[in-house]
Chain A
Amino acid sequence: MHTIDHTKSIIELKDVSFSYGEELVIKDVNLQVHKGDYLGIIGPNGGGKSTLLKLMLGLLLPTKGEVLLYSAPINKFRDWYKVGYVSQHVTHIDPHFPMTVEEVVTMGRYPQIGLFRFPMQKDKDIVKEALGHVEMLQFKDRLVGDLSGGQQQRVFIARALAGQPEVIILDEPTVGVDVKTQKQFYTLLQKLNTELHLTLVLVSHELDIVGHEATEIAYINRELIYHGVPKKFLHSEYFEKLTGKGIHTDA
């Protein structure tokens, strides 16, 4: 049995601000993600959710403040294999891209295999295991473009798992899939969090669902408005205000 040190800080944002040109998108955000957390980042569209996530991944650098990964400043952080990433355009992948499920998931091994080397039997085993976790092993020889949106999503989760990460960061993973698929997807995330002990950070506009799934909620609308357990959030004034205005719906 794993014992998880829930006090261990995995991602830390200190007074982080970010602007696109003149426009301030993120203002003075302080946020910590601890080992074993399942954090849902929610907020209105254009509220800076995805920007916050890109800052955590080092795809954007803060205009002010500091981002730490495993207590190291992000520009000095080298253990990127610990961080799995499932990007938003998963549902928009080129359907004509000639690549089988197995080939896609194998790419998750690439950063660890290193330059001038090729996947070995060990990597193939890890890929199979990852496909098993998301129940997609029987599809391994199918072209990824031939799969449904929900299946593709699982493949991309498997690609992240193949890197054997400690944390997986997901950007709007359920955009464009039906309700049933969505449900299965959240069940899978629960499993990753509780059984595989992965730390999860999930950006979503689906306030009500994430509120019931995640162990922690960060509500961001330029500033970090709420950070804590979902239960309190769901009964808070923010939630009422939001649902009242319907900001979180669709779009």
Chain B
Amino acid sequence: MLNLFQYGFMIRALEVGVLIGAIAPLIGIFLVLRRYSLIADTLSHVSLAGVAIGLLLSINPLLTAIGAAVVSSVVIERLRLSKRVYGESALSIFLSGSLAVAIVLISLAHGFSVDLFNYLFGSIVTVKQSDVFIILGVGIFVFLAIVAFYKELTYITFDEEAAQVGGIPTRFINILLIILAALTVALAIPIVGILLIAALIVIPVVTALQLKKSFLHTIFYAEAISLFSVIAGILSSFYLNLPAGGAIVLIALGIFILSLFYKRDYNAR
């Protein structure tokens, strides 16, 4: 068996993977329970446009992806609040619009390359040392922000009106959540890939929800499922030469299917 820790890229992939695996369900639980999981999909497509801008201007695509995702997330939220457009339609517009931008920019840059394939589906070799610093730095910020505002995020997710009456700054918390989601999506691109990140945000949470536990326990189970999927996915990517994102999502999906067979034993409670 190959010793994977000989390879710098494997160490980088695991470092980044564990962090992404840790923050994805923390964002996911709030998005899923607010029926807002499609935002992850939309923001990932926006990130692709960001990547394309980066490739075209020869800037680190991770940085341009972060920028594009954050800016769009704020615009989407404003559009939703203005009620000029249905929330869902705002997501649709951004999803297809940014895909169009991405495709045009990519063909202007240098056409469809292997590089692009890595961004679409994730790869353990895409993660550069400079990316590790960006992902760890921003990722830890996202993690701390969720912990710091955990109470407020929980309250607006469960009962936004009561939270508002209680004096929770609901507008700020809403915009914070969507920006944190944008950051998470963009950070996950190198390892999970644009087309699969939404799955990592959503599937572990939906799986944990099948277990019908308390809120805190649901988060713990989602964390465990996400981290297991990410680590197992990266390892199988290494040994079996699979795209990392695909392997991660397939493992998470497998656990989800198993969870559907879980039946709660009422008498044992």
Contact = CB atoms under 8 A, between A and B. Distances in A.
Contact of A103 (B164, B166, B212, B216): B216
A100 B165 contact: no
Interface in A94-122: 94, 96-100, 103-104, 107-108, 110-111, 113, 115-116, 118
A80 interface: yes
A107 B154 contact: yes
A107 B158 contact: yes
Interface string A197-227: 0000000000000000000000000000000
A85 interface: yes
Contacts of B167: 78, 80-81, 111
Interface size class, chain A? 20 to 34
Contacts of B208: 98
B162 interface: yes
B84 to A, nearest CB: 15
Contacts of A163: 166
Interface in A55-72: 57-59
A175 to B, nearest CB: 16
A46 B162 CA distance: 22
B165 A85 contact: yes
B213 A87 contact: no
Name the residue in B162, B167, B216, B217 with the highest tally of chain A Cβ atoms < 10 Å from its Cβ.
Answer: B162
Interface residues of B, number: 27
B33 A97 contact: yes
A111 B154 CA distance: 12
A103 B152 contact: no
A58 B212 contact: no
B165 A115 contact: no
Contacts of B149: 115
A94 B34 CA distance: 10
Nearest to B33: A97
A143 B212 contact: yes
A118 B150 CA distance: 9
A158 interface: no
Contacts of A116: 148
24 contacts: A57-B165, A59-B161, A80-B167, A85-B161, A85-B162, A85-B165, A87-B159, A98-B208, A98-B209, A98-B212, A98-B213, A98-B214, A99-B158, A99-B214, A100-B214, A103-B214, A110-B154, A110-B168, A111-B167, A115-B148, A115-B152, A116-B148, A118-B151, A143-B212
Interface of B: 33, 148-152, 154-155, 158-159, 161-168, 208-209, 212-218
Interface of A: 57-59, 78, 80-81, 83, 85, 87, 89, 93-94, 96-100, 103-104, 107-108, 110-111, 113, 115-116, 118, 141, 143, 159, 163
Would you list the 7 A-B pairs with minimal beta carbon distance, nearest first?
A80-B167, A111-B166, A85-B165, A98-B218, A100-B214, A110-B151, A99-B215
